[in-house]
Amino acid sequence: MRVTSKGQVTIPQNVRESMGILPAETEIEFLQDDNGRWYIAKAQPDTQQTSRFRSAHKAGKLMMSTDEIMALTRGESWPSS
């Protein structure tokens, strides 16, 4: 497996599927055992933080002003109309 100049590698699809790794949703961590070997593991759910943009669609209304949308994406509350 080749490492890019940015230090990135592609996790093969079969590995992602078997580990339940989803693009842009799953955090992984690198773990080292006592023998110095490195492993990747899916981060525990309590260490993951849902993006405010991913959760904003649940609170969005069909007819929202630009200010209301911007407040929602910033995690701010807005006065209800």
Look at residue 69 and tell me if it is in a domain.
yes
pLDDT range class, residue 73, cuts 50, 70, 90: confident
Look at residue 4 and tell me if it is in a domain.
no
Return the pLDDT at 52: 65
| Angle, in degrees to the nearest 10, between helices 52-59 and 66-73 | 140
CB contact set of 68 (below 8 Å; sequence gap of 6+): 61, 78
- More confident: 5 or 45: 5
In a shared domain, residues 61 and 34: no
- More confident: 11 or 58: 11
Return the pLDDT at 65: 79
Look at residue 61 and tell me if it is in a domain.
yes
Convert 26-35 to b/e letters by CB count within 10 Å (16 or more is b): eeeeeeeeee
Domain range enclosing 61? 50-81
Could you tell me which residues are beta bridge partners of residue 39?
A: 31
Angstrom distance (rounded) from CA 77 to CA 23: 29
